[in-house]
Amino acid sequence: VYPSYEWHLGSAFRPPMGHAVFVFGAAGAGKTTFCRNLKENGLPKRNIRLINLDPAQESGGDYDLDLCDFITVKEIMNECDYGPNGALFYALREMCENIDELDLQDFENDYFVFDCPGQIELFIHSDILQTCVKHVKNFAKIAIVYLIDSTNFMNSSKLMYSLLCATISMYRFYLPVLNVVSKSDLLDEEKLGQIISGEDIFESEFSDDESGRLSRAIVEYVDSHGMLDFIPLDWKNEDMVESLLLCLDNILQRYDDEEPREVKCD
């Protein structure tokens, strides 16, 4: 179900030089924690470049490039008398207008991880992140990691909403999407087992009324596009981390880009 890659720059064909992961998800899903752990613990033997695209980020961090160094939501709120959301979109539009200054051409074989804001509008109808993704496509193969808070699995309505957003992201950005369940250590063994085994997590959740039929139709639609597959993640669990990295490498075709090693025979 993943879209194929086409890397056409003008009339010439040139393969991308690096790999990139855009981390999407609702506020509180753990995007910044995911990005930092990916850089610090999860991606050995990769030259990670961590990039912050959230102008409201206040926790700081060891970013290689931080949008907050150039423009922040707080500055826009003070200068333009905007609310938080208006200031965030203003700052991101400023970034898009200057996106050509983000020159990634010299970072061959680097692995970019983009920490994105949590406003859901950015994923489902705004063109701001699309502009950024389109620019990065000139330099890298891209995948989306869509983080789903594990607590959503306790509420079928919240889970369906998250899955719809992830499916919309796949279509709007025309990129492969990995549904990653953050904070999986908070799930009990039964629920975690359902996720790992691929069992029907919505089994017996639907009533026979109109609302239940609508919910069933939504789940069937999401499932038909391969979006009911999940990768549970607990950074303290080595098997889960290894599974995540393998999935990322596969959809980014990372090993296809490596130079074959010369084998010497005695």
> What would the pLDDT profile of 202-228 be if each residue is shown by its tens digit?
765 667 778 778 888 888 888 888 888
Q: Which CATH number applies to 15-257?
A: 3.40.50.300
> How many whole angstroms separate alpha carbon 61 and alpha carbon 207?
46
Number of C-beta neighbours around residue 261 at 10 A: 6
**Residue with structure tokens 């931080």?**
66
For residue 144, name the pLDDT band (cuts at 50, 70, 90): very high
- Percent of the chain past pLDDT 90, that is, above it, reads 41
Q: What is the pTM of this model?
A: 0.86
∠191-25-51 over CA atoms, to 5°?
130
Which pLDDT belongs to residue 94? 93
Q: Residue 244 corresponds to which amino acid? A: L
> How many whole angstroms separate alpha carbon 190 and alpha carbon 195?
9
Q: Do residues 49 and 107 make contact, with C-beta atoms less than 8 angstroms apart?
A: yes
Number of C-beta neighbours around residue 195 at 10 A: 19
Average pLDDT over residues 44-50: 80
2 pLDDT more than 50: no
> What would the pLDDT profile of 104-127 be if each residue is shown by its tens digit?
766 667 889 999 999 988 888 889
